[in-house]
Amino acid sequence: MSQGVVGRTLGWLAAGLAALAAAALLGVTAGAASFSAADTVRHLFSLLPFGGASPLTERQAALLVELRLPRVVMGAVVGALLATAGAAYQGVFRNPLADPYLLGAASGAGLGATSVIVFGSEFADDPRALVPVAAFVGALAGVAAAYLLGSMAGGGGTTALLLAGVAVSSFLTAAQTLVQQMGTDQLQRIYAWLLGGLGRGGWDDVRLVAPYAVAGLAVLLLSGHLLDMLALGDDKAVSLGLNPGAVRVAVIAAASLATAAAVSFSGLIGFVGIVVPHIVRRLVGSGYRAILPVTVPAGAAFLVGVDIVARTVAAPSELPVGVVTAFLGAPFFVLVLRATRHRAV
């Protein structure tokens, strides 16, 4: 990258981190039991050695540390995972409409996770540990099926891949419905999971998802220059010493792992993988060495912000996060589809 591109990328990366910090601070302070941002920061410092006394009461401190803070952390992790996975899918398929939810990855992960929720107790004392693994296998199967079907139908073009992803997602969703009907005693838990949300877990869930999240994001962030080489075409990439097939397999596996890690905790939260990468692309340009690192904090800040809206706009009730992202993302997707169609014409 040129110095100008590097400088612009670093500038937007700093802006994304600042937006994430602001969203996180607002996320831990907003709610029925409110306390100031200054008191929140002072309490967090009080947890450090020689950090001083906390201004919060014991009840406020427990609410902050055990409920709001893990929720904000998981919102940031899930948003970063879904957004970065979406950007990586768009790069590896060279398709602006590629997204974990449109390519069957999320539906496959959902089927795997639902199967563990319903049947996992028969194979393990704590089936929660099996959820990310089952979700990963399902995500890989969903993406592979969509890609193969799209290639057979239309050579992997935008329209063929999109329609294949819709078909595979519909099939996997139907299979998921069948599975959940077999576990009616778990129906309420499954239904809440399907709508997508961040309020069900705590620090144990953060620790469970963290290894998968770190592994997936690390591979994706290291693949930016490889995706830029793939964008030149397979023949040019081969002449530069790249193995396009191996790169696609590695990136798809990492993106599917990231999707699985997010879905296994939060359930189905759609459109993050389309909205955030397209906004970032408008800001930093088309190079994935710039897109991927900026997408991480941007996706994190986006979902933390959406979660704040979900739990405050209809207070004291709480909207599912997946419902809010659908309201925001569906019109955005139409705009992207229209722009893609005009470029194709």
So what's the pLDDT on residue 148? Answer: 86
So what's the pLDDT on residue 305? Answer: 95
Asked if 299 and 271 touch (Cβ cutoff 8 Å), the reply is no
So what's the pLDDT on residue 301? Answer: 97
Buried b / exposed e over 127-164, threshold 16 CB at 10 Å, is bbebbbebbbbbbbbbbbbbbebbeeeeebebbbbbbb
Cα-only R_g, the chain: 20
Query: What does pTM read for this prediction?
Result: 0.86
Place of tokens 């530069």: 240
Largest CA distance in the chain: 65
So what's the pLDDT on residue 334? Answer: 81
Nearest in space to 179 (alpha carbons), one of 193, 165, 167, 166: 193
Q: Strands, E, within 183-222: which ranges? A: none
pLDDT digits 0-9 by tens, 131-176 = 778 888 888 888 889 888 887 876 555 567 778 888 998 999 899 8
d(CA 258, CA 11): 26
d(CA 227, CA 243): 11
Annotate 89-137 with DSSP letters as a single string.
Answer: HHHHHT-TT--TTTTTHHHHHHHHHHHHHHHGGGT-SSGGGGHHHHHHH
d(CA 52, CA 55): 10
Place of tokens 């075409």: 233
Q: What are the CA-CA distances from residue 158 to residues 84, 288, 343 (Å)?
A: 20, 19, 12
Asked if 119 and 130 touch (Cβ cutoff 8 Å), the reply is no
Spell out, as residue ranges, where the chain has pLDDT lower than 50.
Answer: 344-345
Asked if 275 and 302 touch (Cβ cutoff 8 Å), the reply is yes
Q: What are the CA-CA distances from residue 38 to residues 26, 42, 44, 52, 55 (Å)?
A: 11, 6, 10, 14, 9
d(CA 258, CA 261): 5
Decide: residue 188, CB within 10 A, 0-12 exposed, 13-18 middle, 19+ buried: exposed
Decide: residue 204, CB within 10 A, 0-12 exposed, 13-18 middle, 19+ buried: exposed
So what's the pLDDT on residue 193? Answer: 65
So what's the pLDDT on residue 225? Answer: 93
Domain spans in the chain, listed from the N-terminal domain onward: 63-344
Give the count of alpha carbons within 13 A of 314, CB side only. 9
As its CATH architecture, domain 63-344 has: Orthogonal Bundle (1.10)
Q: How far apart are the first and last CA of the chain?
A: 31
